[in-house]
Structure 1
Amino acid sequence: MPSRKTLLLVGTVLLIGAGGGAYFLHSPAPSHAAEPAAPPLVPVTAAHVHKGDVPIVLEGLGTVTPINTATIRTQVQGTLESVNFVEGKDVKRGDELAKIDPRVFEAQVDQAEAALARDQAGLKNAQANFARTQPLAARGFATQQLLDTQDSQVAQGKGTVELDKAALEAAQTQLSYTTITAPFNGITGIRHIDPGNIVHPTDATGLVILTQMQPISIIFTLPSTDIPNVQKAIASGEASVDAYDAANTHKLDHGSLMLIDNQVDASTGTVRLKASFPNEKKNLWPGSFVNIHLTIAIRHDAVTVPLTAVQQGPSGTFVYVVDANHVVNAREIKAGQSREDKVLIDQGLSGDETVVTAGQYRLKPGTSVEVVPDNRKDVVQNATTASAGMLP
């Protein structure tokens, strides 16, 4: 007969087995492994490829240069009697700018006129004597020597009169120099001398500098390799020029190309060109630096994309194209000119695609993207923020 201790041990084992069976009967069945979640969409901004007319533009740096500029000097010595222009104001050709005391030159004119009158009277007398002697000599009442002498006196008198006329003309010219006039339309600068001073033709500064403002020219430079294209544009009549300020942001005037210089600067490999501008608003000021945009052709049905869409990869230039399923693919392109934040695409796009403009940092071919509107573009991550430690 089993002992009491043995019976207690057997009972304990049975209780543990019953509890374990109850646990397995009531425990839930094991679940299947969870399927991996789809990767989140990468936020990007995008733009439609633009197709239309695109001007082909060459850009260069130029200097505003007056077509006409002159330092106004006196041509005779004398006392500056009056200054008849206002500094910085427009003057017309022929307007009186200054006056020099004319009395000395008026006296010289009077002397020349008197000498001319005297010698004209002498010539008249010599001609009268010769006229009286001619018939007498024909009848033998006057010698041939007397006739020749009087003929010589007439010729000498004519020469003297001509000399007097030239002297009178010179004196009148000197007198005209006492009135200083504008040689062309322009704007006066700062006056260099005041009335009452003695002025000389050799004065270095002159009276004032006169500058023509309308029209005005700009001389600018381009690489010599652009000469053939510019020549074609001139021949076809498509060449046109726009002048922009030094910051290259504000258009100042529109003009036309005048010429290409006849020599290339061998030290820089550039050539100078000259363009003319009407300058109606006087935005172009002599001596200032400007940026020149020379249009040499118009390319029709050209494809352009925003500058930020173009990327550089190991195999060259490419863009990310978004398809109808919002999946991106890399498209190799051949880029042309870049200006005004637009890039001309010579090859690789047809014009009906959508390209990624920001957020390319996290993309690769086959990535699904979410094109966000402009008001949410702050959620787009790019390489700049990544390099600053803001992206994982």
Structure 2
Amino acid sequence: MLDPRAEPNRPRHTRVWVWAILIAIALGGGYWVLNKNTKRTPASAFRGGASDVVPVRVEPVAIGRIDFSLNAIGTVTAFNTVTVRSRVDGELQKVDFTDGQKVRQGDLLAQIDPRTFQVALEQAQGQQKQNEALLQNARRDLQRYQTLYKQDSIAKQQVDTQAALVQQYMGSEKSDQAAVDSAALQLNFTRITAPISGRLGLRMVDQGNLISAASTTGLAVITQTQPISVIFTLPQAQLPPVLAAMHSGRKLAVDLYGRDDQLKIASGELMSVDNQIDVTTGTLKLKARFANDDEALFPNQFVNVRLLVSSDDHALVVPTMAVQQGSIGAFVYVLKDDGTVHIQAITTGTVDGKQVAVKTGLAAGQQVVVEGLDRLREGAKVEVMKAATAADASAKSTTATAAKPSTAPAATPGPRARH
């Protein structure tokens, strides 16, 4: 016999099953719609179909100047570097420079206590005066002896002895003069002056210290930065055109660029090359000179070096951004008269910044695509636009095509179950 209490549970179980079936139908319908929309979106929508018009910007193939340059990393070095040292021992009485000061050759930098050296000079001068008096007296005696000898009043030996004494005093006079010069030189060394023109570094010895000529520390370092030099290296395979230009007497221009390789810092010329190749790296050192009037270059600074070896004023050039690489090698998209593009294989030459020389494959006056290249293919229809709008229009067109909504009807939810 059935339990009467179980009868009220049957409608409740029925409603649960109805809701489960409706939810399953809704989920299945949504999945079918999404899958159908995905299949309806062809890959060509992202690339641009045959009927799509691609916005591009073009530039003409031109005849212009192209430079053949060699690039390297260089280090700025001072043209001359001198450590200022004392040449005598004594107390540093005065310092006449400030840290980082620019000085000229001969400017007074420091003063050592001169009193000891002044005394030594006066002593040498006194000894010189004494010996000069003895020499003068010996010469007068020699003249008298020579007169008496002519009168047969004295022997020849006495005259010779007096003549030898005069020569002795003359030697002493030369020695005394050398002693005076040496003492004067030592006194002059108490004034420490700049041996070259340049910029001083930080002071390494303070006033009042005892300094010595044997010290290797020095007072300061002077670096000559006007002019200044840059040392860089080139592989031996790149040397022949450089050496040929130097042997012919041509001055090769050298430009320096900052870390971003965009901003030019200075311009100068190649000055010399090293006399041997480094066997470890297979490179040769080169040295360039720069006026550095604006003091933009500092010793030990790293710079990008661009050595101009030669130039061609009648080269066939195209913008670097127009050149693409593919299975056929280098190629460009050439604009045809019917508004479509053609893939043209080319042979490139020297690359000079934003332009590249073309050896074969193009003629002057042809139009090549420089912007909007990402959606192009052989025979694609294009619309030539201005520089500021071509890239934006191409990006918007690609985004709009990829995000185009599906036209398939949305799934309609089933009726709500009544309780």
TM-score bracket for the superposition, by shorter chain length? 0.7 to 0.9
Displacement after TM superposition at 1:203 (Å): 2.4
| Identity of matched residues, % | 39
Q: Residue 343 of structure 1 corresponds to which residue in structure 2?
A: 356
Asked if 1:225 is matched to 2:237, the reply is yes
Q: Residue 408 of structure 2 corresponds to which residue in structure 1?
A: none
Structure-2 separation of matches of 1:120 and 1:346:
88
Paired AA for residue 379 in structure 1: A
Task: Kindly indicate whether the alpha-carbon contact (under 8 Å) linking 1:45 and 1:380 is maintained by their aligned counterparts in 2.
Answer: no
Asked if 1:122 is matched to 2:134, the reply is yes
Structure-2 separation of matches of 1:142 and 1:246:
94
Q: Residue 211 of structure 2 corresponds to which residue in structure 1?
A: 199
2:393 to 376, 379, 383: 379
Structure-2 separation of matches of 1:204 and 1:271:
33
Asked if 1:263 is matched to 2:276, the reply is yes
Deviates most, 185-194 or 310-319: 310-319
Paired AA for residue 271 in structure 1: L
Q: Residue 297 of structure 1 corresponds to which residue in structure 2?
A: 310
Displacement after TM superposition at 1:157 (Å): 0.8
2:337 to 313, 324, 333: 324
Distance 1:238 1:120, change over 3 A: closer
Structure-1 separation of matches of 2:290 and 2:209:
39
Distance 1:236 1:301, change over 3 A: farther
Structure-2 separation of matches of 1:183 and 1:116:
32
Task: Kindly indicate whether the alpha-carbon contact (under 8 Å) linking 1:241 and 1:294 is maintained by their aligned counterparts in 2.
Answer: yes
Deviates most, 213-222 or 357-366: 357-366
- 1:302 match: secondary structure: strand
1:157 to 144, 169, 175: 169
Task: Kindly indicate whether the alpha-carbon contact (under 8 Å) linking 1:96 and 1:181 is maintained by their aligned counterparts in 2.
Answer: yes
1:315 to 328, 332, 336: 328
Task: Kindly indicate whether the alpha-carbon contact (under 8 Å) linking 2:251 and 2:269 is maintained by their aligned counterparts in 1.
Answer: no
Displacement after TM superposition at 1:361 (Å): 4.2
Q: Residue 352 of structure 1 corresponds to which residue in structure 2?
A: 365
Displacement after TM superposition at 1:370 (Å): 2.5
Distance 1:159 1:100, change over 3 A: same
Distance 1:44 1:92, change over 3 A: same
Q: Residue 45 of structure 1 corresponds to which residue in structure 2?
A: 57
Displacement after TM superposition at 1:313 (Å): 2.2
Distance 1:334 1:38, change over 3 A: closer
Distance 1:332 1:376, change over 3 A: closer
2:157 to 145, 148, 167: 145
Displacement after TM superposition at 1:391 (Å): 9.9
Paired AA for residue 308 in structure 1: M
List alignment gaps of at least 5 residues for structure 1.
1-36
Q: Residue 301 of structure 2 corresponds to which residue in structure 1?
A: 288
Taking structure 1 as the reference length, the TM-score comes to 0.84
Deviates most, 255-264 or 226-235: 226-235
For each residue in 1:158-199, what CA deviation from the matched residue of structure 2 results, as whole angstroms up to 9, or x when unmatched? 111111111111111111110001112111111111111101
Displacement after TM superposition at 1:238 (Å): 5.0
Structure-1 separation of matches of 2:259 and 2:105:
32
- 2:237 match: secondary structure: helix
Deviates most, 228-237 or 248-257: 228-237
Deviates most, 263-272 or 372-381: 372-381
Structure-1 separation of matches of 2:58 and 2:332:
11
- 2:225 match: secondary structure: coil
Displacement after TM superposition at 1:90 (Å): 1.3
Task: Kindly indicate whether the alpha-carbon contact (under 8 Å) linking 1:238 and 1:296 is maintained by their aligned counterparts in 2.
Answer: no
Structure-1 separation of matches of 2:60 and 2:50:
28
Paired AA for residue 295 in structure 2: K
List alignment gaps of at least 5 residues for structure 2.
1-48, 405-419
Structure-2 separation of matches of 1:391 and 1:293:
47
Taking structure 2 as the reference length, the TM-score comes to 0.79
Structure-1 separation of matches of 2:237 and 2:138:
76
Displacement after TM superposition at 1:236 (Å): 5.3
Displacement after TM superposition at 1:225 (Å): 2.3
- Considering only aligned residues, what root-mean-square deviation do their CA atoms show, in Å? 2.4
Task: Kindly indicate whether the alpha-carbon contact (under 8 Å) linking 1:43 and 1:381 is maintained by their aligned counterparts in 2.
Answer: no
Asked if 1:110 is matched to 2:130, the reply is no
- 1:274 match: secondary structure: strand
Paired AA for residue 217 in structure 1: S
Structure-2 separation of matches of 1:269 and 1:103:
58
Structure-2 separation of matches of 1:318 and 1:202:
70
Structure-1 separation of matches of 2:203 and 2:175:
40
Displacement after TM superposition at 1:369 (Å): 2.3
Q: Residue 54 of structure 1 corresponds to which residue in structure 2?
A: 66
Q: Residue 109 of structure 2 corresponds to which residue in structure 1?
A: 97
Deviates most, 167-176 or 198-207: 198-207
For each residue in 1:266-317, what CA deviation from the matched residue of structure 2 results, as whole angstroms up to 9, or x when unmatched? 2112111111111111001111111111112221121222222112222322
Displacement after TM superposition at 1:65 (Å): 1.0
Structure-2 separation of matches of 1:327 and 1:47:
15
Structure-2 separation of matches of 1:239 and 1:225:
18
Which residues of 2 match residues 69-80 of structure 1 at below 5 A? 69-80=81-92
